[in-house]
């Protein structure tokens, strides 16, 4: 299988008379988006003692789907734990869950004490098992994100940009944190799509504790309003406009919040602006179903 896990193209489009550059990591393959960067370390190295990946989280996670591809490439088993009765009923499997099961993922739902159960996974794991944290909150993500930072730096040099504002929507904050760390000459902006601002800065502090130097953290544009994966007509309208203007499909969970917060704060952000497209469009069918369910007959 041919891997295209770095050197994604950069394009641009105009929206409201403003020029936006797009780093098209969604075009990476077979794993797409920032998950390809975060799993780069595992993709390019050999792990002779490992034959099983263990992870956990939501049953429509983009990271889950990326892990199912990694497991397939490596010929490993993939065991994934999720909460009992989380979003999807098993007779209506679609999106990332359907794709992951199709790649051989074993899904196990945990009835009680999910958090505690997950915390113990790495302690109880065997030598042949690679336990990966929810959403890829993992210091080994830095290898692929270092490569991404180099690509952005080289592109900025080619464009003759001495300064650059970079925006990426955050879940665990891993992508934003390492990009800012590896691109100290540029300014990283992000927003909290999961949890509140304090949660996200806490994530940065945990990642910073792995390293030694004191660092600049990405600037968090505080999202106080929009909840993760909850359908919102205003956000839906905005992302449709962005997709029309750019002719690029975006993820319907992170990117609507990302674009909303970026545009709401645009007056305080210096040009040029590069938006990192983190992929995730395979999950869109499921989010579209949530929209239909919530807003049908209204």
Ligand X SMILES: *Cc1c(COP(=O)(O)O)cnc(C)c1O
Shortest Cβ 160–ligand X spacing (Å): 29
Find the Cα–Cα–Cα–Cα dihedral 78, 125, 85, 172, rounded to 10°. -80
Contact flag: residue 55 with ligand X (CB under 6 A): no
Shortest Cβ 22–ligand X spacing (Å): 13
Distance between CA atoms of 198 and 47, rounded to whole angstroms? Answer: 36
Residue 71 near residue 77 (C-beta atoms within 8 A):
yes
Distance between CA atoms of 17 and 160, rounded to whole angstroms? Answer: 22
Contact flag: residue 279 with ligand X (CB under 6 A): yes
Which listed residue (174, 187, 223, 286) binds ligand X by CB under 6 A? 174
Residue 149's nearest CA partner among 25, 63, 42 is 25
Q: Token pair 């040099």 is at which residue?
A: 157
Segment lying near ligand X (by CB under 6 A), choices 51-59, 77-85, 238-246, 275-283: 275-283
Residue window 122-141: x/- pattern of binding to ligand X, with contact defined by CB under 6 A = -------------x------
Distance between CA atoms of 33 and 16, rounded to whole angstroms? Answer: 26
- Nearest-5° angle of CA 99, CA 237, CA 254? 45
Shortest Cβ 206–ligand X spacing (Å): 13
Phi, psi for 11 (deg, rounded to 5): -120, -175
Considering the complex, state which of residue 161 and residue 290 has its C-beta at the smaller distance from ligand X: 290
Q: Which residue is nearest to ligand X (CB)?
A: 280
Strand partners for 167 = 189, 275
Residue 115 near residue 144 (C-beta atoms within 8 A):
no
Which listed residue (226, 280, 282, 287) binds ligand X by CB under 6 A? 280
Contact flag: residue 58 with ligand X (CB under 6 A): no
Residue window 89-108: x/- pattern of binding to ligand X, with contact defined by CB under 6 A = --------------------
Shortest Cβ 226–ligand X spacing (Å): 14
Q: Which of residues 150-169 bind ligand X (CB under 6 A)?
A: 169
Binding stretches for ligand X (CB under 6 A):
33-34, 62-63, 135, 169-176, 251, 254, 278-280
């Amino acid at each position: 299988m041919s891997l295209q896990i770095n050197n994604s193209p950069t394009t641009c489009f105009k929206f409201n008379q403003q020029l936006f550059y797009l780093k098209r990591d969604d075009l990476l393959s077979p794993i797409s988006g920032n998950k390809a960067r975060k799993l780069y370390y595992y993709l390019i190295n050999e792990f002779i003692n490992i034959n099983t990946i263990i992870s956990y989280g939501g049953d429509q996670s983009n990271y889950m789907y990326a892990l199912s591809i990694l497991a397939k490439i490596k010929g490993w088993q993939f065991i994934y734990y999720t909460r009992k009765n989380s979003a999807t009923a098993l007779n209506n499997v679609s999106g990332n869950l359907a794709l992951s099961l199709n790649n051989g993922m074993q899904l196990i739902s945990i009835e009680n004490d999910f958090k505690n159960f997950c915390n113990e996974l790495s302690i109880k794991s065997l030598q042949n098992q690679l336990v990966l944290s929810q959403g890829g909150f993992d210091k080994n993500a830095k290898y692929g994100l270092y490569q991404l930072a180099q690509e952005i730096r080289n592109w900025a040099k080619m464009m003759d940009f001495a300064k650059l504002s970079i925006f990426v929507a955050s879940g665990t904050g891993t992508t934003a944190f390492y990009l800012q760390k590896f691109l100290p000459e540029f300014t990283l902006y992000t927003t909290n799509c999961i949890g509140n601002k304090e949660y996200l800065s806490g994530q940065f502090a945990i990642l910073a504790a792995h390293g030694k130097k004191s660092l600049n953290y990405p600037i968090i544009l505080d999202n106080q309003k929009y909840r993760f994966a909850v359908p919102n007509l205003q956000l839906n309208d905005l992302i449709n406009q962005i997709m029309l203007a750019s002719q690029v499909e975006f993820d319907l969970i992170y990117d609507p919040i990302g674009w909303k917060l970026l545009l709401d704060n645009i007056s305080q952000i210096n040009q040029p602006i590069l938006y990192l497209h983190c992929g995730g469009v395979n999950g869109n069918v499921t989010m579209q179903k949530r929209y239909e369910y919530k807003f049908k007959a209204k």
